[in-house]
Amino acid sequence: MANPARSPCLDNLTDGARSVSSVSFTAVILKDEKETITPDVENALPAYAQSSSLSHTSLPSDDKSRDAAAPDLPLPRTPSASTPPAHIRPTNFLTLSRSHQSISGSFVIDPRIKLSAAHLPPLGPGETEETRRNASFHSSTGSVKIDLFIVGDDTIERPVLLFCDSDYGSVHVKLVPDAARPRIHLNARSANRSLQVDFPRSFNGPLTVATQYGSFKLSAPLTSELTTVSEINGVRKYFVGDIPRSTDAEGWRGDEAHVETVYGSLSLRYENELPYPVPEAIGFFSKLW
């Protein structure tokens, strides 16, 4: 008997069901494969990540997550660069005076260097051969930014006399001494701009601070070493370090510093402290929030 003729509609329906069944089967296979995949994490990592020589430095913890009353860790301190740069030749009785140009750089001052009178600069106002400055920096309108490496030893009788000054520019002096060094007598002044002095940790002696209309800031580490002696009409007198119980007949034989500004800001700190943070600029839209 001949098979009855199939309807084209039935064929289309059967093909569609077969197609749907195939798609469903494929979906099940994919789902099963996804569920049975076990990632090989070790083999997936790059070779350098699997190396046992890779190490990490653990940062110190202040235990604040476990104990809110735990003390804060002190801020890290930058090391003191007491060794002068090898490429800078030492000098003595140095004088740099400029009218409109700034002065910047690093200088090595060695008071043991002797120069003949013919090679010495002219004496400044009020100077004598006994009070000749070992280093003098002055700019009328420019800034003065210098690092002074003081070399020598503590057997040198005469103190190292340093002078840094600007009328309309800023002044920044950083004193970097040897471990054993001669006494330091510093006179730093900026009449109208900022003045910053970075003292060595070994500085021990009187400190005079004169300000009239400007601001004055002391770092916390330096403040902890200060003893206030007096404050009269904008002139503050301190003693840095331990005060001796007695002095010899010739008076104080240690470090001394006199810093002065009229209208500028004044900041004093130790030379191996971290830099002061720079304030973040605030824009117009930031103020709205």
Residue 44 falls inside a structural domain: no
Residue 250 falls inside a structural domain: no
Number of domains in the chain: 1
Question: Which tens digit of pLDDT belongs to each residue from 212-265?
Answer: 998 999 999 999 999 999 999 999 999 999 988 776 656 788 999 999 999 999
pLDDT band (50, 70, 90) for residue 66: very low
What's the whole-number mean pLDDT along residues 8-18? 47
Residue 188 falls inside a structural domain: yes
pLDDT of residue 239: 97
Q: Which domain, by its residues, includes 191?
A: 94-244+258-270
Question: Which tens digit of pLDDT belongs to each residue from 127-186?
Answer: 999 999 999 999 999 999 999 999 998 889 999 999 999 999 999 999 998 878 999 999
Residue 222 falls inside a structural domain: yes
Residue 147 falls inside a structural domain: yes
Residue 22 falls inside a structural domain: no
For 268, residues 6+ apart whose C-beta sits below 8 A from its C-beta are: 196, 197, 199, 207, 209, 217, 218, 219, 222, 259
Predicted TM-score (pTM) of the model is 0.68
What's the whole-number mean pLDDT along residues 56-79? 42
Beta strands across the sheet bearing 205-211:
94-98, 135-139, 160-166, 184-190, 256-261, 205-211, 235-240, 226-232
- Could you tell me which of 144, 180, 143 has the C-alpha nearest to residue 162? 144
Residue 13 falls inside a structural domain: no
Residue 219 falls inside a structural domain: yes
Write out the two tokens for 226: 């200060």
How many angstroms separate the CA atoms of 212 and 188, rounded?
A: 15
Sign of the alpha-carbon torsion through 188, 216, 224, 279: negative
